[in-house]
Amino acid sequence: MRKIKFLSVVIALVFSGNILFAQSIDDGKKFLNYERYNSARDIFLKLVTANPNNADAVYWLGQTYIESGDVASARALYLKTLSANPNSPLILAGVGHVELLDNKLPDARNHFETAISLSKGRDANVLLAVGRANVDVPAGDGAYAIDKLKIASDLNKKSSEIQIELGDAYRKMTDGANAQTTYTNALALDPNNARADYMIGRIYQTQGFGQEAIYMRYYNEAIAKDPKFSPVYEWLSEYYYHRDINKAREYLDKYIAVADQDSKNCYYQASFLYASGKFQDAINKSKECITLGGANPYPKLYGLEAYAYDKLNDSLDARNAFAIYFQKLPVDQLGPLDYATYGKELLKFPGSATEAAGYIDKAISMDTIESEKVDFISSVAQNYLATGNYLEAGNWYNKLLGVKHNYGKVDIYNAGYNYYKGGNYKGADQAFALYTQKYPTDIFGVYMRARASEGLDSTGAQGLAKPFYDQVIVIADTTADKEKVKAQLLTAYKYNVAYYYNTKNDRATALQYTQKILLVDPTNAQAMENEKALMSPSKTKNKTNDTKEKVTPSKTKVKDK
């Protein structure tokens, strides 16, 4: 649901002399436009109580419930009223609005079309309600809203409210030019319309850097025209929240001064305690605000509470608060940081790794900032690593390679080495193939491809590791500091001893590699034993078979780089 609506519908008077009734509807809508939901609800509720069949009052009471996040009450109200008045176009439009929120798109469209048909397509208020619903709900059809609002505009050329709703529809379709035109049309009809100025300012703000002077001018014009127009203060407070906390607090005070004292506005006060690093105070205030909200508190309060517990390293309470937050807040309002932080909290509890990974995966798919994606992925990978689940650690480190544009040796190593330790030798080989492409003269990448190939060819019969061990030898021979590559070189020589004797039955070449081992490591007892065996035909079969398992490279432990 969008945060702000300033929609006035021209109410047709049932009785020509009932001027006070019409003004009461207008007063309720004005409170709704100011986001004073409690005040708006009180007015509409009194009107509905006095006359349950007053379709206008019922429709606007339902809209007030929707705007305050109480969709269940709106649904119950509209359906109850529709059962008594099945041919009420405005209530049918209200039902369609709720169905959009429930993601029942065909049902919603059917009710919209029925409402328009029953009013013969000539009631601007009904068309406005249909357009409002489709603009309001993310699942709504912006193009459909524009079409119906254009017809409403033709029917009522003097309505600034229709022009503003049409502008909102164009904004939904990311058509800033037409949106500004319609907002300007609204100002021509009503020069003191604060929302029109405010929404033009929003258009310029979305254009980014360099537009501040323009959108601030429009925001200030909105304030000058209507100092009680609370949404602009709310927006400015949020705008300065991460830029100038003192200025943000100044606008919050102005907002609170003209707003209802409800749990949402209480949330803003709690959020400033959080921003000031007073996390326990923020938790206490959040609990107070939740109590103030009664049966339907502002859902972001649970999120604020969860984040504050996270800052205090209280993982249990943070996890519990996040669970409620995810139940209460509409899914389209949850952001990547919400999913990632909840996921990180879950990682701290045994048995929750799979659930946590699901949340963090969602955060990665939503986020557009590389550094944040890398942080999300690393947190899961490190958790799996800490619990010894090397295969999953490898999966997540490998996922990082697809996110991080300038990954380096450590990134590839983390994926490949954990795959190796987890027994995914194919994954390890693929990762270290990347390593050797980027760092062809680094012996470690080739060496690990050899070790991964040994894992894929456990008996050595296929000789999959041999080409890589031969590369290890070539690189080692050209390395100035032989001591740094000694371990890898010895492993390559040992592999070739086993390969030539066991696979090729070539004792002479096996002996040559055995003697190469002794040149590098003259005191190597196993090599000395093998040399004697290979030089003594009468003992060769039994002796080399006896030592084969000792020199098979798969028995050599791979050490961390």
pLDDT digits (tens), the chain, 561 positions: 444 433 333 333 233 333 344 458 989 998 988 888 889 999 999 999 999 999 999 999 999 999 988 899 999 999 999 999 999 999 999 999 999 999 999 999 999 999 999 999 999 999 999 999 999 999 999 999 999 999 999 999 999 999 999 999 999 999 999 999 999 999 999 999 999 999 999 999 888 777 889 999 999 999 999 999 999 999 999 888 888 888 988 999 999 999 888 888 899 899 989 988 999 999 999 999 999 988 889 999 999 999 999 999 999 999 999 999 999 998 888 999 999 999 999 988 988 988 999 999 999 888 888 988 899 899 889 988 988 999 999 999 999 999 998 999 999 999 999 999 999 999 999 999 999 999 999 999 999 999 999 999 988 889 999 999 999 999 999 999 989 999 999 999 999 999 999 999 999 999 999 999 999 999 999 999 999 999 986 444 444 444 344 344 434 455 555
This prediction has a pTM of 0.62
How many CB atoms sit inside 10 A of residue 440's CB?
11
Q: Pull the structure tokens for residue 1.
A: 């649901």
CB burial of 52-64 (b: ≥16 within 10 Å; e: otherwise) equals eebbbbbbbbbbb
Q: Are 129 and 90 in contact (CB under 8 A)?
A: yes
Q: Closest Cα partner for 421 from 379, 459, 392, 398?
A: 392
121 φψ region: left (φ > 0), alpha (ψ -120 to 50), beta (else): left
What single-letter DSSP state applies at residue 499? I
H-type alpha helices, 34-141: 37-50, 55-67, 71-84, 89-101, 105-118, 124-136
Q: Pull the structure tokens for residue 404.
A: 């991080």
Q: How far apart are CA 26 and CA 24, in angstroms?
A: 5
Q: How far apart are CA 484 and CA 475, in angstroms?
A: 12
Q: Are 95 and 79 in contact (CB under 8 A)?
A: yes
Q: Are 548 and 461 in contact (CB under 8 A)?
A: no
Residue 274 makes CB contacts below 8 A (sequence gap 6+) with 282, 304, 307, 308, 311
Q: Pull the structure tokens for residue 61.
A: 């009471």
Q: Pull the structure tokens for residue 255.
A: 């907002």
Query: Based on C-alpha coordinates, what's the Rg of the chain?
Result: 35
What single-letter DSSP state applies at residue 332? G
